[in-house]
Amino acid sequence: MSFDKLMNKPAGKSANTIWHRATVTRQRREQKNRHKSVIIWFTGLSGSGKSTLAHAVEEQLHQYGLNTFVLDGDNVRQGLCSDLGFSDTDRKENIRRIGETAKLLLEAGVITLTAFISPFRAERAIARSLIPHGDFIEIHCFCPLTVCEQRDVKGLYKKARLGEIKDFTGISSPYEEPKNPDLRLDTDLLTLEQSVHQVMSLLRDRNILPVVE
């Protein structure tokens, strides 16, 4: 199902526009960068370690001289998605915008890491469908709700339990775990270093990292 149908919007692209094909292509940008571009999509409950892991992986990649960028949930909602709330409809629109932004960065030859709860399977599937086969890597940061609540770094679970935050994933709004993620990390059991190592191993297996690495 397309995102337009999911949101009950008419299918199709913007009217009166034509896609302009650039002479500088993604392939040429990748050749210049000397590495492939890819989207690494971290999903999981609040407090599962998505952002921490995404930035730690980016740091590792940056040290190798690769071009990277992290799209972080909180940061994006302060700009690109500042007009959105946390209703199901707004969450869907949030992920649509992120998917399209990540796609642009992919074409720019950048390794893009996204750290979003992205609670619904359908929206994650739509984000994946925007991306050519093999260029979307879904990583599930699994952490039991009880552990996430114990961490509660931002104090959000406490507020959600008190009814001060509506539509909070895991409490008053569902989180649909990925059925077949490219990688599942039990972040309650693994150290940050172990998680980073597993992600880097996956990137090696997918031939994302340059040979010199």
Termini Cα distance of the chain: 39
Radius of gyration of the chain (CA): 18
List of residues 6+ apart from 159 with CB closer than 8 A: 165, 168
CB count in 10 Å sphere of residue 94: 22
Per the structure block, which two tokens stand in for 142? 């699994």
**Separation CA 31–CA 36 (nearest Å):** 8
Q: Which of 37, 48, 118, 173 is catalytic?
A: 118
**Active site includes 37?**
no
Phi, psi (degrees; rounded to nearest 5) at 80:
-50, -40
Name the E strands within the chain: 38-43, 68-72, 111-115, 136-142, 183-186
Residue matched to tokens 């931002």 = 154
Per the structure block, which two tokens stand in for 181? 């993620």
Phi, psi (degrees; rounded to nearest 5) at 202:
-65, -40
**Separation CA 64–CA 8 (nearest Å):** 44
Q: What does the DSSP 8-state code read for residue 38? A: E
118: left (phi over 0), alpha (psi -120 to 50) or beta: left
Q: Give me the active site residues, please.
A: 118
